Every structure is written in C-alpha cells, then in structure tokens.
Homo-oligomer: A and B are copies of this chain.
Amino acid sequence: MAQIPEPAKERLLYLMRLLEKRGEARITSGEIESITGWSSHTIRKDISYLGNADEGACVPDTAAGASAETALPESEASLGNSAGYNPRSLIAAIRQALGLGGRRRLCVVGLGRLGSAYLNFQGFSHHGGTPDRVLAGELPGDLAEFELAAGFDSNVNRVEILKSPAPLYPAFKMGEVIKRFSIEIALLCVPGDAAQAAAEKLAVAGIRGIVNFAPVALKLPPEIAVRNVYIVDELRALAVKIK
C-alpha cells in the first residue's frame, strides 16, 4: 500500500470519528465536504489511499459533491452510481490502513486537575472491560480501544486520596508498572518544569508515545512519538484565524 502522508492520516482519523457518530446511513463526499470543509478532491484523494481491496465496499458516490472537475483520474475506475460510501466499510478500511488494531494501554502521569480529569474520562476501558457508557450506547464503541491501566503522581498523599477507576501509584514505581502492564502511551500532565524529567523516565521505562500537555518541547529519542496539546497554542491558532 502506498505510504499515506501525515495530513491525510489526520483527516482519515477525523473522518473515521465522523462516521462512527453517524450510524448506518451512507455518506456522500458532498456531505463530508459540508461537514469538514475539505474539498471533494482532498476527500477522494485521502480515501484513495485506502487501497483497492475495499473499492467494492467503499464505492464513492457520483451523485453529490463530486463534479467532473474535482474527480481524480486515479479514482475514476471505482466511481460508481451509488448513494455514497458505506460508513461501516469505510471505518474498517481506515482502521486497517492506519494500523488501528488491538487495544492500547495508557497511563496518566501527573494527577493535578487536568490529569485527574483524564483519569476519569468515561470513554477509556479498564482492566480489559468496556466502559458502561459504551455498553449503554451513550458512547461509541471505538472509545474502548484505549485502556487506562495506571495513574502516577510524585505526591504519595494524592495517590492515596484520589478516587480513580484505574490503580494509582507513586511516581517512583513508574518504570516497574509500565513494564509489567506493557503500557505503551502516557498522558503527560505534570507542570512544565517537571515534564522533561518525567518524559525521560517514561522513555527509559519503554513508553512508545506521549501526549504532552506541558508547555515545553520535549527532547526525546526519535523512536518515541509525541503529540503536544497545549491550550495556549490552541488559543493562538484561533486568534490567528479570527484576527
């Protein structure tokens, strides 16, 4: 399969989420365009990365939003006369193409306000169980793909007092617990001045990916994937758009 460019991966992830909320009704590229603002051209190109194996299941629409000038030559062969994409097949194709297979274990590091908010995020599963809200149909089943396995804080008192659906440990047990439970991802919610040191400990413990909420650029070995989520950056990105 062709290498999928990073921006296309991001859009496909977002599209997958849209489809998961939508239920069974087929969706046209015109509808996707009106929801996301992406051009039909971009949408078709992104979906073309999913490969030919799913061409039958994911037959694109010609009815709406797919005017002749935006249709890609490459996808012409698979242009059908259907009423859009089958969401279930498209979700499966995206999951397969992006390698989103089994459940991933994660931990929360730093149990202040933000960390404990994520500790109690209702969509994570625990100990292999599926969240009640997923079972009740209030949340989509995809959320169960991430299992919260542990929380860590350097304040032992906090670890003992906090209510949590997952077991909590003092920070010095991080290496041991991460290895024991094969935890792959960490939500790093410690203050900025503690973030680099905590990230290095996570790296040594064998963590493979970090969502970094601290306002610092982490310096880590290149094999560790990092996503930076920082509210001031989001606000600035908005401020740039609305100036």
In Å, the complex CA distance between A118 and B210 comes to: 21
Q: Are B209 and A239 in contact (CB under 8 A)?
A: yes
Check A146 for interface membership: any CB of B closer than 8 A: yes
CA distance A198 to B14 in the complex (A): 21
A238 within 8 A of partner (CB): yes
Chain B residues in 8 Å Cβ range of A13: 233, 236-237, 240
The copy count of this chain in the complex is 2
Chain B's nearest CB lies how many Å from the CB of A20? 9
| Inter-subunit contact B242/A234 (CB<8 Å) | no
Indicate whether A166 reaches chain B with its CB closer than 8 angstroms: no
A64 within 8 A of B: no
Q: Is the CB of A215 closer than 8 A to any CB of chain B?
A: yes
Q: Do residues A227 and B237 form an inter-chain contact, with CB atoms below 8 A?
A: yes
Contacts of A35 in B (CB 8 A): 217, 219
Which segment of A43-51, A69-77, A84-92, A109-117 sits at the interface? A109-117
| Complex Cα gap A120–B112 (Å) | 11
Known: A114-B114, A211-B234. 15 other contacts (CB 8 A): A13-B240, A14-B228, A17-B233, A21-B217, A35-B217, A36-B217, A100-B240, A117-B117, A118-B231, A139-B192, A185-B239, A209-B241, A210-B238, A211-B238, A227-B237
